[in-house]
Every structure is written in C-alpha cells, then in structure tokens.
C-alpha cells in the first residue's frame, strides 16, 4: 500500500508580549451588519413572513431584533427605510412551553422578557400575534394579527450568545488575544418561539410539553479556553427533551483576555492554501522567530480540514451465499466526504447489545473486524461522526444470516450426520419401533420421511438406503 505524504506548511509568527486589558475590544461585525451596544444588526431587504424571517436570523445564530431602550430605537431608525415595514422580535408571551400556547398572552420579546420600553402607534389588542415597525409612522410599532404577511426584517446577533437549532452547531468566536469562557448553556426549550420555521405542526406537537437540560459541562469540555469553536451536544447520553417540536442549543459565554502577558494571535490560511491541502488531516510544522533567539523554535501540529459527512456506506465482507468459517464479522466502510470521522458500531443480538468505536482516517474503503459477535445477531447499525455532522446507516445482514441458516441445515454432527440425516434417522427409528401403528399413521410418517429425501444429493448413501 502506498503511503500518503502530507504537505508541510511553515508559518513564520511573531509573538508579542502585552499586559492584560480590562476593556473589551469594539465588536467587529461583518460588512453587511452594523454594530451597536454589543450586538450586530442586519437590515434584511428581502420580504418574509414572521416565522420565515426568524428562521433566517437563526441561520446566523441570531433572532429578530429586540428594542429594549430608546437608544436602540434611535440607532435602528438611522438605518431603516421609512417607506418599509420591518418585523421585530415580538410574539405572545406563551404561558407554557407548548405550541398550543404560542398565540396566548400579551406581546413580549421572543425570549420571554416583558416589553418595558415601547413605541406603539396603538395599544396592541388581545388578538395580536406579532409586531413590526410601521412604515410612514415615524418608526412607531404596530401589532399585527396576520403574521403570514411578508415584510422586511431586522436580525440581531448578540455578542457572547449563540443559538443553534436542532442539527446545527453553535458558533463561539472571540477576538485576537481572547479566549472563550462558558457562562451558561442548555439544550431543549425555554421559549416556544425559537427554531420553529422548519417544523411542521401536527395535532400531537400542539400539546407536547417541552423542557430543557443543563449542558454547560458538555459545552465547556469542547470550547472552554479556546479562541473559537463549534459547540454541539451528544444526545446519546441525554435524550431529546422536545422530540416533536424540536430543541435548540443556547450558549452564553464571555471573551476573556489572556492574562499571562502573551497575547494569542490568529493564523489564517489563505483560500489557495486550504484548497491545495484539501480535506482531511495534514501534518504541519509551525516555526517562530523574533531575531533575538539564536535558534528557530518549531513545533509539529496536526491540521484537520473537515466537511459534513456524506455518502456513508457499509456492508458485510464475505463470499456471496457462504457462511464464514470463523465467528468474526468483517464490515467494509467507505465515505464520500467527511473523513476523518469516528465510527460507532452498534450490534444487537437476541438478548444483548454492544457498541464499539473505531477511527476512520480517510474515506476509502476500510475493513473493520469484530471477534466473536453476539449470538443471534439481529441488527448492526453504524454512525459516522465528526465535529460538523453525523450520518447513520443500517448494515444489511440478510444475506449472511440466510447463508448461515442454510449452512446449519446441512452442518454435520459429531458423527458426520447432517441435521436432515439426523431427523431421518430419528423418524425411521420411531416408525420401526411402532409396529402397532395404523396404516394411516404409517402413511403420514412415510410422507414426512419422503419430504426429507427430496434432495437425496445432500444425504449420505447410508441415509438414502435407510
């Protein structure tokens, strides 16, 4: 087998010493957004329904904008077109965590806080289900009962808070010289209004009572003291707190400056370098020099460029219609995209189950062998997982189980007799030992014996004579 040589990339980095800073750096927002009071705001010129607009904001880990004070109101006005309506993050307070209550209660902000500051044109009535900034009103707010109308909208992305809907990862990002410190994190629901746009309501989901669970320790293990990370939750040990309506991951964090006198610096690989490396894991060498030390300082590191898992395939490796001689079970696995990945094999037997984890460093076909699998193996499932996604597949065992079943029908005993020959001998013995049988009973037994000998090529000469 040819070995793969990973390219070596040398980066020259100058490390600067500095004192710890008390004040946080000004929030840096993408070009399409505006910064104000610790949040980035995006003024989206596309028209969407209320739920669709909220879903748009959630794709970037944000929400429809909250206006909590007059300063925020004045800031937004400077960027809004007065000839357009703009959705805000206003919805009924919802007295409990059921979809049935999503239209109950007076208007509140989506995360459940009361509207202490307001700029209503008219006092909202009891049927109000959402709210927006009304065009040609001097930027006053209007309550609406029709949330399906399509309006422009404002997305708000809060610094130090990230929300990820079911199946997505929460992105945590700090600036240069800062690291993440996790303050709080939960998975489930504390509000009925987040992460609803892709869920089709069913009669059952309307009555479902949702809950949440603390996952702070799990997120800390992944992200604490890093400059940036993708936070996710492994549900295998928790379960789904809101299976019908769906859950979301909420993470609150603080960006802390490094206090040991050495500032952290980003190392950005250009798009061309990333394309040249390609997906997968690569061995890199990082060197540093400042013109003072006599020798260059170097360290090796492993860089893995990941992509979502696609094209997971798995099958039993065995000759067709042949039962393996050993009790080992060999599974061939391949991936189109997403390696390196962790493979989790779950084998279910007649009365027991076991799970084994294996590593898959590249996506080419690889064989994984399990010694002495469970007796009465009924099902084998495989999950491939990396930091971005997971994929599951059931391994087809029908052919090998059928082959082994057929094999057992003709497998010899200690005396070399197959199962059918053993049955033939037993029935013949019973027939000969019972001379008092009626003629009808003898005929029934004879027909049964004849059924066993329909394939005489599988019987020994002695059995055929018998």
Question: Per-residue pLDDT tens for 268-316?
Answer: 677 778 778 877 777 888 887 765 566 777 888 877 777 889 999 999 8
What percent of the chain is modeled with pLDDT above 70? 68
For 351, how many CA atoms within 13 A lie in the half-sphere containing its CB? 1
418 pLDDT more than 90: no
DSSP state of 99: G
- Bridge partners of 170? 231
Give the contacts of 457 (CB within 8 A, at least 6 positions apart): none
428 pLDDT more than 70: no
What confidence score (pLDDT) does residue 99 get? 60
**Distance between CA atoms of 178 and 21, rounded to whole angstroms?**
10
Confidence of residue 212 (pLDDT cuts 50, 70, 90): confident
pTM over 0.75: no
What confidence score (pLDDT) does residue 455 get? 46
* Closest listed residue to residue 360, CA positions, set 312, 395, 315: 312
**Distance between CA atoms of 412 and 127, rounded to whole angstroms?**
79
Asked whether the beta carbons of 156 and 57 are under 8 A apart, the reply is: yes
Q: What is the CATH number of domain 313-404?
A: 2.60.40.10
Asked whether the beta carbons of 196 and 208 are under 8 A apart, the reply is: no
**What average pLDDT does the structure give for the chain?**
77
Residue whose tokens read 């429809």: 64
Confidence of residue 443 (pLDDT cuts 50, 70, 90): low
Question: Per-residue pLDDT tens for 36-61?
Answer: 998 999 999 999 999 999 999 988 88
**Distance between CA atoms of 289 and 126, rounded to whole angstroms?**
68
Give the chain's end-to-end CA distance (angstroms, integer): 57
- Bridge partners of 381? 346, 394
CA-based max dimension of the chain? 110
Taking domain 20-264, whether its CATH number is 3.40.250.10 is answered by no
Domain boundaries, the chain: 10-16+279-304, 20-264, 313-404, 413-465
């Amino acid at each position: 087998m040819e070995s793969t040589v990973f390219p070596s990339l040398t980066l020259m980095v100058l490390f600067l010493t500095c004192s710890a800073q008390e004040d946080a750096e000004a929030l840096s927002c993408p070009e399409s957004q505006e910064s104000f009071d610790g949040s980035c705001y995006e003024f989206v010129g596309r028209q969407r329904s209320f739920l669709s607009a909220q879903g748009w904001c959630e794709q970037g880990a944000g929400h429809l904008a909250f206006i909590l004070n007059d300063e925020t109101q004045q800031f937004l006005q400077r960027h809004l077109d007065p000839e357009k309506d703009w959705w805000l993050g206003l919805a009924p307070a919802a007295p409990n965590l059921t979809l049935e209550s999503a239209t109950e209660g007076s208007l509140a902000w989506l995360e459940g806080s009361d509207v202490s500051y307001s700029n209503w044109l008219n006092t909202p009535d009891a049927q109000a289900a959402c709210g927006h900034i009304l065009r040609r009103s001097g930027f006053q707010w209007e309550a609406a009962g029709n949330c399906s109308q399509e309006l422009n909208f404002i997305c708000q992305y809060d610094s130090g808070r990230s929300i990820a809907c079911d199946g997505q990862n929460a992105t945590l990002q700090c600036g240069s010289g800062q690291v993440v410190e996790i303050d709080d994190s939960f998975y489930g629901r504390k509000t009925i209004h987040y992460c609803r746009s892709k869920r089709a309501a069913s009669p059952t989901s309307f009555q479902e009572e949702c809950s949440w669970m603390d996952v702070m320790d799990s997120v800390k293990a992944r992200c604490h003291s890093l400059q940036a990370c993708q936070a996710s939750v492994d549900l295998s040990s928790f379960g789904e707190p809101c299976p019908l309506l769906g859950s979301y991951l909420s993470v609150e964090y603080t960006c802390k400056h490094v206090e040991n006198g050495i500032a952290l610096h980003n190392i950005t690989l250009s798009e061309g370098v990333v394309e040249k490396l390609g997906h997968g894991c690569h061995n890199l060498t990082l060197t540093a020099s400042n013109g003072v030390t006599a020798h260059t300082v170097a360290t090796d590191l492993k860089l893995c460029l990941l992509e979502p898992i696609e094209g997971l395939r798995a099958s039993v490796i065995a000759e067709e219609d042949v039962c393996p001689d050993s009790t080992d079970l060999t599974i061939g696995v391949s991936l189109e995209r997403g390696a390196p990945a962790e493979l989790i094999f779950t084998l279910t037997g007649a009365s027991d189950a076991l799970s084994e984890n294996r590593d898959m460093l590249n996506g080419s076909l690889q064989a994984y062998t399990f010694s002495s699998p469970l007796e009465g193996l009924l099902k084998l499932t495989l999950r491939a997982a990396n930091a971005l996604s997971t994929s599951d597949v059931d391994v087809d065992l029908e052919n090998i189980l059928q082959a082994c079943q057929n094999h057992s029908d003709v497998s010899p005993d200690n005396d070399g007799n197959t199962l059918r020959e053993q049955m033939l001998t037993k029935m013949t013995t019973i027939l000969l030992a019972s001379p008092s049988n009626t003629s009808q009973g003898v005929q029934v037994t004879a027909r049964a014996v004849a059924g066993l000998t329909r394939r005489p090529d599988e019987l020994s000469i002695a059995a055929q004579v018998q």
